[in-house]
Structure 1
Amino acid sequence: MSITTFINLPVRDLSTAAEFFRSIGFTGEQPAPDGSSMMLNLNETTQLMLHIASSFAGYTGVAVTDTSTSREVIVGLAAESREQVDDLVDRAAAAGGTALGPGQDTGQLYMRGFRDLDGHQWSFLHLAG
Protein backbone atom coordinates (compact mmCIF):
# COMPACT_ATOMS: atom_id res chain seq x y z
CA MET A 1 0.00 0.00 0.00
CA SER A 2 1.32 3.42 -0.91
CA ILE A 3 0.38 6.35 1.31
CA THR A 4 0.93 9.95 0.30
CA THR A 5 2.13 12.36 2.99
CA PHE A 6 0.81 15.92 3.01
CA ILE A 7 2.84 18.34 5.12
CA ASN A 8 0.73 21.43 5.88
CA LEU A 9 2.44 24.59 7.10
CA PRO A 10 1.39 28.19 7.71
CA VAL A 11 3.60 30.79 6.02
CA ARG A 12 3.77 34.58 5.96
CA ASP A 13 4.20 34.83 2.17
CA LEU A 14 3.23 32.05 -0.24
CA SER A 15 5.48 33.00 -3.13
CA THR A 16 8.57 33.58 -0.94
CA ALA A 17 8.04 30.30 0.92
CA ALA A 18 7.45 28.43 -2.35
CA GLU A 19 10.68 29.81 -3.81
CA PHE A 20 12.59 28.71 -0.68
CA PHE A 21 11.25 25.16 -0.89
CA ARG A 22 11.86 24.97 -4.64
CA SER A 23 15.50 25.83 -3.93
CA ILE A 24 15.85 22.64 -1.86
CA GLY A 25 14.13 20.36 -4.34
CA PHE A 26 10.36 20.74 -4.15
CA THR A 27 8.70 21.28 -7.51
CA GLY A 28 5.52 22.67 -8.98
CA GLU A 29 3.13 25.34 -7.94
CA GLN A 30 -0.55 24.64 -7.64
CA PRO A 31 -2.16 27.66 -5.94
CA ALA A 32 -5.69 27.36 -4.60
CA PRO A 33 -8.26 29.36 -6.58
CA ASP A 34 -8.61 31.83 -3.68
CA GLY A 35 -4.82 32.26 -3.37
CA SER A 36 -4.78 31.08 0.25
CA SER A 37 -2.63 27.99 -0.24
CA MET A 38 -0.20 26.31 -2.61
CA MET A 39 0.96 22.73 -3.16
CA LEU A 40 4.54 21.70 -3.96
CA ASN A 41 5.82 18.17 -4.59
CA LEU A 42 8.97 16.55 -3.25
CA ASN A 43 8.22 13.21 -4.90
CA GLU A 44 5.21 11.06 -5.76
CA THR A 45 4.39 10.41 -2.10
CA THR A 46 5.35 13.66 -0.33
CA GLN A 47 3.51 16.92 -0.92
CA LEU A 48 3.94 20.24 0.86
CA MET A 49 0.88 22.41 1.38
CA LEU A 50 1.71 26.02 2.20
CA HIS A 51 -1.11 28.12 3.65
CA ILE A 52 -1.41 31.75 4.60
CA ALA A 53 -1.98 31.91 8.36
CA SER A 54 -5.72 32.59 8.21
CA SER A 55 -6.25 29.63 5.89
CA PHE A 56 -4.19 27.33 8.13
CA ALA A 57 -6.07 28.51 11.25
CA GLY A 58 -9.32 27.83 9.43
CA TYR A 59 -8.32 24.18 8.98
CA THR A 60 -7.04 23.70 12.52
CA GLY A 61 -9.58 25.78 14.40
CA VAL A 62 -6.83 27.28 16.61
CA ALA A 63 -4.27 30.07 16.35
CA VAL A 64 -1.09 29.47 14.38
CA THR A 65 1.90 28.57 16.57
CA ASP A 66 4.47 31.33 17.09
CA THR A 67 7.61 29.60 15.81
CA SER A 68 9.85 32.17 17.50
CA THR A 69 8.83 30.79 20.91
CA SER A 70 7.64 27.21 20.37
CA ARG A 71 7.67 24.16 18.09
CA GLU A 72 4.64 22.12 17.25
CA VAL A 73 6.39 19.58 15.04
CA ILE A 74 9.74 18.71 13.49
CA VAL A 75 9.37 17.57 9.90
CA GLY A 76 11.84 14.75 9.24
CA LEU A 77 12.57 13.40 5.77
CA ALA A 78 14.87 10.54 4.78
CA ALA A 79 17.69 11.14 2.31
CA GLU A 80 19.60 8.64 0.17
CA SER A 81 23.04 9.46 1.63
CA ARG A 82 24.94 11.55 4.16
CA GLU A 83 26.08 13.73 1.28
CA GLN A 84 22.48 14.38 0.25
CA VAL A 85 21.60 15.32 3.86
CA ASP A 86 24.43 17.87 3.89
CA ASP A 87 23.55 19.17 0.42
CA LEU A 88 19.87 19.70 1.31
CA VAL A 89 20.61 21.52 4.56
CA ASP A 90 23.34 23.62 2.91
CA ARG A 91 20.88 24.58 0.14
CA ALA A 92 18.25 25.51 2.74
CA ALA A 93 20.78 27.73 4.54
CA ALA A 94 21.90 29.34 1.26
CA ALA A 95 18.24 30.14 0.48
CA GLY A 96 17.80 32.01 3.77
CA GLY A 97 16.97 29.23 6.21
CA THR A 98 18.91 28.64 9.41
CA ALA A 99 21.13 25.55 9.68
CA LEU A 100 20.96 24.00 13.14
CA GLY A 101 24.59 23.09 13.62
CA PRO A 102 26.73 20.24 12.37
CA GLY A 103 25.37 16.80 11.52
CA GLN A 104 24.70 14.29 14.28
CA ASP A 105 26.14 10.84 13.62
CA THR A 106 25.13 7.86 15.77
CA GLY A 107 26.67 5.27 13.45
CA GLN A 108 23.23 4.07 12.34
CA LEU A 109 21.78 7.53 11.69
CA TYR A 110 23.15 10.76 10.27
CA MET A 111 20.95 13.82 10.70
CA ARG A 112 21.10 17.59 10.19
CA GLY A 113 18.39 20.14 10.71
CA PHE A 114 17.36 23.64 9.67
CA ARG A 115 14.58 26.13 10.20
CA ASP A 116 12.78 27.48 7.15
CA LEU A 117 11.92 31.14 6.54
CA ASP A 118 8.85 30.87 8.78
CA GLY A 119 10.70 29.14 11.63
CA HIS A 120 9.42 25.60 11.03
CA GLN A 121 11.99 23.01 12.03
CA TRP A 122 13.06 20.35 9.53
CA SER A 123 15.59 17.53 9.62
CA PHE A 124 17.02 15.40 6.88
CA LEU A 125 18.38 12.05 7.91
CA HIS A 126 20.15 9.08 6.41
CA LEU A 127 19.84 5.62 7.93
CA ALA A 128 22.91 3.42 7.46
CA GLY A 129 21.86 0.34 5.64
Structure 2
Amino acid sequence: MAYKANHVYVNLPVKDLNRTKEFFSSIGFEFNPQFSDDKSACMVINDNTFVQMLAESYFRTFVDKPVADVASAAGGIIALSADSREHVDELADKALTAGGKQFKEPADHGFMYVRSFEDLDGHLWEIAYMDMSAMSQA
Protein backbone atom coordinates (compact mmCIF):
# COMPACT_ATOMS: atom_id res chain seq x y z
CA MET A 1 0.00 0.00 0.00
CA ALA A 2 1.27 3.48 -0.89
CA TYR A 3 2.14 5.86 1.92
CA LYS A 4 -0.24 8.79 2.36
CA ALA A 5 0.53 11.48 4.92
CA ASN A 6 -2.29 12.87 7.03
CA HIS A 7 -0.63 16.29 7.26
CA VAL A 8 2.08 18.19 5.40
CA TYR A 9 4.52 20.48 7.21
CA VAL A 10 6.95 22.56 5.16
CA ASN A 11 9.75 24.21 7.18
CA LEU A 12 11.34 27.37 5.77
CA PRO A 13 14.13 29.51 7.18
CA VAL A 14 13.35 33.24 7.30
CA LYS A 15 15.54 36.21 8.15
CA ASP A 16 12.90 38.36 9.88
CA LEU A 17 10.04 36.39 11.42
CA ASN A 18 7.85 39.43 12.15
CA ARG A 19 8.19 40.82 8.60
CA THR A 20 7.43 37.35 7.21
CA LYS A 21 4.26 37.09 9.32
CA GLU A 22 3.17 40.57 8.21
CA PHE A 23 3.85 39.70 4.56
CA PHE A 24 1.83 36.47 4.54
CA SER A 25 -0.92 37.94 6.74
CA SER A 26 -1.37 40.73 4.19
CA ILE A 27 -1.88 38.11 1.47
CA GLY A 28 -4.61 36.49 3.57
CA PHE A 29 -2.90 33.64 5.42
CA GLU A 30 -3.44 32.99 9.12
CA PHE A 31 -1.01 31.69 11.71
CA ASN A 32 -1.75 29.12 14.40
CA PRO A 33 -0.66 30.74 17.69
CA GLN A 34 -0.53 27.33 19.39
CA PHE A 35 2.50 26.43 17.24
CA SER A 36 4.08 29.89 17.01
CA ASP A 37 6.52 31.74 19.25
CA ASP A 38 9.41 34.19 18.94
CA LYS A 39 11.43 31.64 16.89
CA SER A 40 8.77 30.21 14.59
CA ALA A 41 5.34 30.85 13.13
CA CYS A 42 2.95 28.19 11.87
CA MET A 43 1.20 29.44 8.71
CA VAL A 44 -2.02 27.57 7.93
CA ILE A 45 -2.51 26.62 4.29
CA ASN A 46 -5.53 24.39 5.01
CA ASP A 47 -6.65 21.92 7.68
CA ASN A 48 -3.88 19.49 6.74
CA THR A 49 -1.07 21.65 5.34
CA PHE A 50 1.17 24.07 7.23
CA VAL A 51 4.30 26.11 6.57
CA GLN A 52 6.47 26.52 9.63
CA MET A 53 8.42 29.75 9.23
CA LEU A 54 11.56 29.38 11.34
CA ALA A 55 13.95 32.19 12.24
CA GLU A 56 17.14 31.30 10.37
CA SER A 57 19.16 30.85 13.57
CA TYR A 58 16.53 28.43 14.88
CA PHE A 59 16.30 26.62 11.53
CA ARG A 60 20.06 25.95 11.75
CA THR A 61 19.49 23.86 14.90
CA PHE A 62 17.63 21.31 12.74
CA VAL A 63 20.20 20.88 9.96
CA ASP A 64 23.84 19.88 9.71
CA LYS A 65 24.59 21.67 6.44
CA PRO A 66 24.57 25.30 5.34
CA VAL A 67 21.24 27.05 4.93
CA ALA A 68 20.64 27.81 1.25
CA ASP A 69 20.69 31.42 0.12
CA VAL A 70 17.37 31.35 -1.72
CA ALA A 71 17.75 35.04 -2.55
CA SER A 72 20.35 34.02 -5.16
CA ALA A 73 19.57 30.35 -5.92
CA ALA A 74 16.34 28.36 -6.18
CA GLY A 75 15.83 25.80 -3.44
CA GLY A 76 12.37 24.66 -4.49
CA ILE A 77 8.95 26.00 -5.43
CA ILE A 78 5.94 25.87 -3.13
CA ALA A 79 2.84 25.56 -5.32
CA LEU A 80 -0.65 26.26 -3.99
CA SER A 81 -4.01 25.90 -5.69
CA ALA A 82 -6.62 28.63 -5.99
CA ASP A 83 -10.38 28.42 -6.55
CA SER A 84 -10.39 30.54 -9.73
CA ARG A 85 -8.25 32.61 -12.08
CA GLU A 86 -9.45 35.68 -10.21
CA HIS A 87 -8.29 34.17 -6.92
CA VAL A 88 -4.85 33.51 -8.46
CA ASP A 89 -4.63 37.16 -9.49
CA GLU A 90 -5.87 38.37 -6.11
CA LEU A 91 -3.27 36.39 -4.13
CA ALA A 92 -0.40 37.19 -6.49
CA ASP A 93 -1.29 40.90 -6.58
CA LYS A 94 -1.42 41.00 -2.77
CA ALA A 95 2.00 39.32 -2.57
CA LEU A 96 3.50 41.87 -4.98
CA THR A 97 1.89 44.79 -3.14
CA ALA A 98 3.28 43.47 0.17
CA GLY A 99 6.85 43.49 -1.16
CA GLY A 100 7.15 40.19 -2.98
CA LYS A 101 8.71 40.00 -6.44
CA GLN A 102 7.37 38.35 -9.57
CA PHE A 103 9.79 35.61 -10.64
CA LYS A 104 8.05 34.41 -13.81
CA GLU A 105 5.50 35.88 -16.18
CA PRO A 106 1.92 34.65 -15.67
CA ALA A 107 1.29 31.43 -17.61
CA ASP A 108 -2.04 30.52 -19.20
CA HIS A 109 -2.08 26.92 -20.41
CA GLY A 110 -5.83 26.89 -21.13
CA PHE A 111 -6.67 24.36 -18.43
CA MET A 112 -4.22 25.90 -15.93
CA TYR A 113 -3.44 29.49 -15.01
CA VAL A 114 -0.34 30.22 -12.89
CA ARG A 115 1.26 33.27 -11.29
CA SER A 116 4.51 33.21 -9.35
CA PHE A 117 6.24 35.32 -6.73
CA GLU A 118 9.25 35.40 -4.44
CA ASP A 119 8.57 36.11 -0.79
CA LEU A 120 10.71 38.49 1.27
CA ASP A 121 13.43 35.84 1.76
CA GLY A 122 13.47 34.68 -1.86
CA HIS A 123 11.43 31.48 -1.44
CA LEU A 124 9.53 30.77 -4.66
CA TRP A 125 5.75 30.40 -4.63
CA GLU A 126 3.27 29.56 -7.38
CA ILE A 127 -0.47 30.06 -7.23
CA ALA A 128 -2.40 28.01 -9.77
CA TYR A 129 -5.98 27.44 -10.86
CA MET A 130 -6.72 24.23 -12.74
CA ASP A 131 -9.98 23.89 -14.68
CA MET A 132 -10.39 20.12 -14.64
CA SER A 133 -13.15 20.19 -17.31
CA ALA A 134 -10.83 22.05 -19.70
CA MET A 135 -7.97 19.69 -18.80
CA SER A 136 -9.81 16.69 -20.23
CA GLN A 137 -10.13 18.59 -23.54
CA ALA A 138 -6.46 19.65 -23.67
TM-score by length of structure 1 reads: 0.89
Residue among 86, 89, 97 paired with 1:86 = 89
**Alignment: residue pair count:** 127
Counterpart-to-counterpart distance in 2, 1:3 and 1:110: 28
Q: Which runs of 4+ in 1 moved over 6 A?
A: none
Structure 2 residues without counterparts, runs of 5 or longer: 133-138
Residue among 69, 76, 79 paired with 1:66 = 69
Match for residue 128 of structure 1?
A: 131
Of 74-83 and 100-109, the range deviating more from structure 2 = 100-109
Match for residue 14 of structure 2?
A: 11
Contact 1:97–1:116 (CA<8 Å) still a contact in 2? Answer: yes
Contact 2:71–2:123 (CA<8 Å) still a contact in 1? Answer: no
- CA apart distance, 1:106: 1.0
Counterpart-to-counterpart distance in 1, 2:55 and 2:66: 12
Structure 1 residues without counterparts, runs of 5 or longer: none
Counterpart-to-counterpart distance in 1, 2:28 and 2:5: 22
Q: Over aligned residue pairs, what C-alpha RMSD do you find?
A: 1.6
Look up the SS of the partner of 2:25 in the other structure. Answer: helix
Counterpart-to-counterpart distance in 2, 1:59 and 1:2: 21
Counterpart-to-counterpart distance in 1, 2:24 and 2:18: 10
Structure index of larger Rg: 2
Counterpart-to-counterpart distance in 2, 1:40 and 1:68: 21
Contact 1:25–1:42 (CA<8 Å) still a contact in 2? Answer: no
Indicate the structure with greater strand content.
Answer: 1
Q: Give me the identity figure in percent.
A: 35
